Amino acid sequence: MLIKSRVLLIGAASALALAACGPKDASKPAAAPAATPAASTAAPAAGVAATVNGTPISTATVEMMVKERTAQGQPDTPELRKAIIDNLTMQTLVANEGIKKGLDKSDDVTRQLELIKQSMTANAFIQDWLKANPVTDAMVKAEYDKMVTSAGGTEYKARHILVKEEADAKAIIAKLKKDAKAFAGLAKDKSMDPASKVNGGDLGWFNPASMVPSFGAAVAKLEKGKFTEEPVKSDYGYHVIMLEDSRPIAPPPFEQVKEQIKQQQQRSNMKNYLDKLKADAKIEIKANPATPVLSGVAPSAAPAAPAAPAAAEVPAAAPAASDGHDHGAAPAAPAAAAPAASK
């Protein structure tokens, strides 16, 4: 008997993982007169798709398998249906051999079937609960507006020159005081940052929070078109920074993050419900999890514990109209020394 592992999904992310086995019902009696085996995507909704030594394989089982595969992105094609039927016929053939030996009544198989039934019933309940407690568009929009309000912040476009010694940085600042337009040329000649020096020290647009604290703080204090008149020290050396522009961090468009927010709310709602369900239940652990329950018998693989839902994340800011820079992202980290904050 072949058993397929199933994992319960809520939206695009796991809110509850129930390790389950989904039996493929190869011996289900026919519900209607035999139909022609699927040769096209328009398979009958009921009937018999094939028989194995007289044991029918229902078209309902085939349709269930097709639905699972197409949900995973596979196209519904005659080839897919033929492969499914071929697999089911072989599975039925092997399962019938096991039945002849009475293996379907063994304790191990019986326990697995009980676990399958329990897991599939739990899965069905979760899906039913989600349908009965939908996250509406109005709820999603309200959450989006809250995120936009709390996000705020400013991003900056700047250049920098990184040198090893403070005296070198001061010498560069002295030259810039005479001619600020020389910044790009000095960056190409003097900077130790290979990633930005080729572009005249240009770092593109970035959030100061993504930089080391001293660098981010210095940028935030600068006026547009000005440069730091004192070297900015970091673990990488000494920086001379020029601010070219700044702007409010633009939130991503609602439609771009709508589904992400909806899934986050579904996970949160489901977690709250399951937490309450567990808190109200009387759960007693009778056996020591560290030892086998049956003497001399190794414990079977237990279903996975419910996975903790991922923490809700504020969608990343979407870039504004393209101008050739990576908006909202940290600048590329130089190989030798980077202002980006270490994690």
Domain ranges of the chain: 3-132, 136-252+316-343
Could you give the C-alpha distances from 8 to 77, 128, 134, 259, 339, in angstroms and in order? 26, 13, 17, 18, 43
pLDDT at 19: 32
Residue the block writes with tokens 């949160």: 268
pLDDT at 150: 74
pTM, 2 dp? 0.48
Rounded to whole angstroms, the Cα distance separating 302 from 110 reads: 14
pLDDT at 172: 97
Residues 6+ apart with CB under 8 A from 135: 262, 265, 266, 269
Give domain 136-252+316-343's CATH architecture. Roll (3.10)
Neighbours of 165 (CB within 10 A): 11
Question: Which residues face 159 on adjacent strands?
Answer: 202, 242
Residues 6+ apart with CB under 8 A from 342: 212, 235
pLDDT at 189: 96
Q: Where are the beta strands (DSSP E) in 53-195?
A: 55-58, 154-163
> Regarding beta strands 154-163 and 202-206, do their DSSP bridges make them parallel or antiparallel, or are they unpaired?
antiparallel
Could you give the C-alpha distances from 19 to 45, 294, 329, in angstroms and in order? 29, 22, 38
Ranges under pLDDT 50 in the chain:
1-45, 295-343
pLDDT at 294: 53
pLDDT at 149: 80
Could you give the C-alpha distances from 175 to 164, 183, 192, 215, in angstroms and in order? 17, 9, 18, 21
Task: Give yes or no for a contact between 222 and 228, defined as CB atoms under 8 angstroms apart.
Answer: yes
pLDDT at 312: 38
pLDDT at 268: 95
pLDDT at 287: 79
- Determine the angle formed by the axes of helices 254-280 and 107-132, rounding to 10 degrees: 120
